[in-house]
Structure 1
Amino acid sequence: MSASLQLLIVAVIVGVFAWRAFKRYAPKTAWRLQASLSYQFERAGRPSWSRAIGRWLRPLETVSGDGCGSGCSSCGGCATNPVAKTDPLSIQLRS
């Protein structure tokens, strides 16, 4: 395998994981960025393949109450996470 192909594969893998991390830690900013990129592809007068890419890139619409503080705990980042986490350093003594 050539060095340039290896570099391309590594760059794609790193890019995908960087985008996932960005979406996890900055969801609103990532949503806005994805929506603006989708809009650029979906503008009037663009070819059909460009509009198809724009529809594919379009982020999911948020419902009121979504986001941090809604208690959904889908990302695990909310303070109202219903899953109780045990402290691995505490020792439970039996009587």
Structure 2
Amino acid sequence: MNAAKLFLSLAIGMATPAVGSAEAIPGVVVPSSDLDLSRTEDIRRLKARISVTIRKICAQPDNSALALHSERLCRRSATVGMTPPSYPRM
């Protein structure tokens, strides 16, 4: 499989840049080039990698109501801006 990667755009309690702003949205690359996404098992592996990455990025230092709310919002918004891998056309 080609060097396929998923880019997760994350909203981690930060203000969203204005439209047309030069500021980049924070993100993380989740590697998937070692997976064959035509196989069910490899799709499961990729989903697990994405889940682990989101949990790590959105984790909060305490269990206060505000921290838990922030973590939930982060997890929800993390996948909104996901960019799927691009593959060359055949």
Structure holding more strand per residue: 2
Q: Which has the higher contact order (CA 8 A, sep 6+)?
A: 2
TM-score higher than 0.5: no
TM bucket, shorter chain = 0.3 to 0.5
Q: Which has the larger radius of gyration?
A: 1
